């Protein structure tokens, strides 16, 4: 209870609060100190470390930027399609990287495009207000004056359109009047919000996509060691359709709220309908892509490792056919962590320079011909040690609940809910965790609720997966407030979105933008768990592995 209070209140850092079981359990005789320490490093910890090695290589060699720009170039520069393009690339990256890292990587690219839209719009407004054209030779001087204005907002990108803003209006222009029109403001809001929502959606797809998925996988496998149903393949098969449906519905929702209902114009492929601003935006995206140059050797190696890791995860134990683990004599020794750590370790060995090549990689500052793809500093910079300690604290907390009998007691207190059908129990759990996670961190919320929901499922004789999987997904839907999750805070830092915009969209006093996305997520997850989730996880019956756990816990 002390740990849970610290997690929810955030009176101390989450990682520090996760250390409370390490000294309280031994002091009160719940668990030995050595037993508690063993809970802080599990299989998922090694899985995360291997994935971070690959993420460090992706970020170091700008593969994420190449993927994002290419997908946006395919989508085009029409506002609606631009939003969809950024959402697609964010979802794809968030499948393999953390939601926070993905948002931090994609937002600077989106900001460059938005600045181009703002610059072109201001230039158009300036041209309309002038009686004559300015001399061509003065453009460089005007550009220098106005670059300072734009660099204040984003030091990484410089607008190339000369804009003359009177001195008396500069302060106001940096605030509410920085957007040429209200529609431009809506485009900036829509694109910014779409990236944080897409990062959340992408994190649902894979076990490694977000820390809450890892917490669920490890706690589930620890509580039900006989259940061999959760792996990379089964999770992907279940969650990928959810992400696709959520992506489409969220895009339609944001388009309706911020860009209007003109979907025919959005989906038009006619080049004649492109405005000057859309053409300038496309040109800016192409320029950013051209800066990357031709694809480099380290990018190729990183891409190969990325594909190889995914294939090995899928084919380890696919279920419908024997996986590559069947080639080994002893079963159960190899997990997804084995693959990620092996490939992550190889990234420290493989040189970043092409064999028999005298040229150094374009982004490498090391002249050593044997410099590896990544260094320990690259790994250390991205490794979320606080999450590792937080997850370990959750495992320790769950172990204490099991040994002390607290989880069984909680389950008995929830017996009055036995009259509810399974779908109603799951819906109540989803609504509860999605509400709590708006004010508390996602990992802390899930760590507190997982033991309770497991005990509830065992008491009501419901397949635990029926409540645990939807709750794990819905705990990621903290999309209404900046404190809901770190990607929200990153988007807020760029200044296009305010708290009022996440709670209520402009022009709609009743409809809530973030609340709508939250409802979409809960509805789609409930649809999945009651349709294709039933045959995939055999949810119609109380499984034998849960019966064994229930009998053991009751004793």
Q: How many CB atoms lie within 10 A of CB 176?
A: 8
CA Rg value for the chain: 26
CB 458, CB 425: distance < 8 Å: no
Which neighbouring-strand residues pair with 351?
372
Domain residue limits, the chain: 2-39+384-554, 62-203+262-291
Annotate 276-327 with DSSP letters as a single string: HHHHHHHHHHHHHHHHT-SPPHHHHHHHHHHHHHHHHHHHHS-SSS--GGGG
Surface-to-core class of residue 91, CB atoms within 10 Å of its CB (0-12 exposed, 13-18 middle, 19+ buried): buried
Q: How far is CA 276 from CA 64, 120, 412, in A?
A: 28, 8, 66
CA atoms within 13 A on the CB side of 380: 3
Place of tokens 């499922």: 457
Q: Which of 553, 548, 222 is nearest to 403 (CA)?
A: 553
Interatomic CA distance for residues 111 and 115, integer angstroms: 6
Indicate if the alpha-carbon torsion angle 178, 179, 185, 189 is positive or negative: negative
Among residues 346, 293, 386, the alpha carbon closest in space to that of 7 is found at 386
Q: Where are the alpha helices (DSSP H) in 76-176?
A: 79-96, 99-129, 139-153, 170-173
Selection from 406, 295, 231 nearest residue 63 by Cα:
295
**Token code pair at residue 525:** 């997850």
What pLDDT, on the 0 to 100 scale, is given for residue 533?
Answer: 92
Tell the burial category of 365 from Cβ atoms under 10 Å away from its Cβ (0-12, 13-18, 19+).
Answer: exposed
Q: Specify the pLDDT at position 45.
A: 81
pTM: 0.71
Q: What is the pLDDT of residue 8?
A: 61
Is residue 351 within a helix (H) or strand (E), and if so which, with residue range? none
What pLDDT shows up at residue 554?
46
Distance of CA 351 to the CA centre of its chain: 30
Q: How far is Cα 111 from Cα 250, in angstroms, rounded to an integer?
A: 21
From first to last of the 555 residues of the chain, give the pLDDT tens digit.
Answer: 677 677 666 677 777 888 888 898 899 888 889 888 888 888 878 888 888 898 889 888 888 788 877 877 777 767 888 889 889 988 988 887 778 778 877 887 788 777 766 666 555 554 444 444 443 344 333 333 333 333 333 333 333 333 333 343 333 344 445 666 777 778 888 888 899 899 999 999 988 888 889 889 888 888 888 888 888 888 999 999 999 999 999 999 988 888 887 766 666 555 555 666 667 777 777 888 888 889 899 999 999 998 898 888 878 877 667 788 888 888 778 888 888 899 999 999 999 888 766 665 655 555 677 889 999 998 998 887 877 887 788 778 777 877 877 766 766 776 777 778 889 999 999 998 888 887 777 887 888 788 888 888 888 888 999 999 999 999 988 777 665 677 877 777 777 776 555 554 443 433 467 788 899 999 999 999 999 999 999 888 888 888 756 545 543
Roughly what angle, to the nearest 10 degrees, separates helices 139-153 and 99-129?
140
Separate counts of helices (H) and strands (E) for the chain? 28, 0
* C-alpha span between 13 and 254 (Å, rounded): 34
Tokens of 56: 């460090």
Dist. CA 540–CA 502, nearest whole Å: 39
Buried b (16+ CB within 10 A) or exposed e, 540-553: eebbebbeebbeeb
pLDDT of residue 365: 55
First to last CA, the chain: 23
Backbone angles phi, psi at 190, to 5 degrees: -60, -45
Question: Taking CA 11 as the corner, what is the angle to CA 10 and CA 17, rounded to the nearest 5 degrees?
Answer: 70
Q: Which of 135, 185, 204 is nearest to 164 (CA)?
A: 135
**Cα separation, 260 vs 183, whole angstroms:** 10
């Amino acid at each position: 209870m002390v740990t849970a209070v610290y997690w929810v209140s955030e009176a101390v850092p989450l990682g520090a609060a996760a250390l409370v079981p390490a000294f309280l359990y031994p002091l009160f005789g719940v668990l030995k100190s050595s037993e508690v320490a063993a809970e802080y490093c599990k299989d998922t910890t090694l899985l995360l470390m291997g994935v971070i090695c690959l993420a460090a290589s992706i970020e170091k060699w700008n593969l994420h930027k190449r993927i994002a720009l290419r997908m946006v170039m395919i989508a085009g520069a029409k506002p609606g399609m631009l939003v969809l393009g950024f959402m697609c690339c964010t979802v794809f990256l968030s499948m393999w990287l953390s939601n926070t890292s993905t948002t931090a990587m994609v937002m600077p690219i989106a900001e460059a495009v938005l600045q181009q839209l703002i610059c072109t719009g201001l230039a158009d407004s300036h041209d309309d207000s002038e009686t004559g054209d300015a001399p061509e030779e003065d453009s460089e001087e005007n550009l220098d004056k106005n670059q300072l204005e734009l660099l204040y907002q984003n030091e990484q990108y410089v607008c190339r359109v000369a804009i003359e803003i009177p001195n008396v209006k500069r302060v106001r222009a940096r605030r509410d009047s920085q957007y040429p029109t209200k529609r431009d403001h809506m485009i900036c809001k829509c694109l910014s919000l779409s990236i944080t929502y897409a990062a959340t959606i992408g994190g649902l797809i894979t076990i490694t996509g977000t820390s809450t998925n890892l917490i669920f996988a490890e706690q589930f496998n620890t509580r039900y060691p006989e259940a061999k149903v959760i792996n990379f393949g089964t999770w992907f098969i279940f969650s990928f359709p959810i992400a696709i449906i959520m992506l489409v519905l969220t895009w339609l929702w944001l388009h309706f709220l911020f860009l209007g209902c003109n979907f025919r114009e959005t989906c038009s492929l006619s080049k004649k309908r492109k405005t000057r601003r859309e053409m300038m935006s496309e040109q800016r995206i192409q320029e950013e892509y051209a800066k990357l140059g031709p694809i480099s050797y380290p990018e190729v190696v990183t891409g190969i490792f990325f594909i190889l890791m995914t294939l090995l995860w899928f084919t380890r134990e696919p279920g419908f056919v024997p996986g590559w683990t069947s080639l080994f004599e002893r079963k159960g020794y190899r997990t997804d962590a084995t693959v990620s750590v092996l490939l992550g370790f190889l990234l420290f060995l493989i040189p970043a320079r092409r064999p028999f090549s005298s040229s150094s990689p374009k982004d490498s500052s090391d002249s050593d011909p044997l410099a590896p793809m990544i260094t320990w500093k690259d790994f250390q910079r991205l490794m979320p040690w606080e999450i590792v300690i937080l997850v370990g604290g959750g495992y320790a907390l769950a172990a204490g609940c099991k040994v002390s009998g607290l989880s069984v007691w909680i389950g008995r207190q929830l017996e009055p809910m036995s009259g509810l059908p399974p779908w109603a129990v799951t819906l109540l759990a989803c609504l509860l965790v999605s509400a709590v996670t708006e004010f508390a961190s996602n990992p802390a919320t899930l760590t507190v609720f997982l033991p309770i929901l497991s005990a509830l499922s065992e008491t009501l004789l419901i397949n635990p997966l029926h409540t645990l999987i939807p709750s794990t997904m819905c705990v990621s839907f903290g999309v209404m407030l900046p404190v809901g999750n770190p990607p929200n805070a990153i988007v807020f830092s760029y200044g296009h979105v305010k708290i009022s915009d996440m709670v209520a969209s402009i022009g709609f006093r009743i409809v809530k933008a973030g609340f709508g996305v939250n409802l979409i997520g809960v509805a789609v997850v409930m649809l999945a768990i009651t349709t294709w989730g039933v045959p995939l996880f055999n949810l119609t019956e109380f499984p034998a592995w849960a019966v064994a756990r229930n009998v053991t816990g009751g004793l």
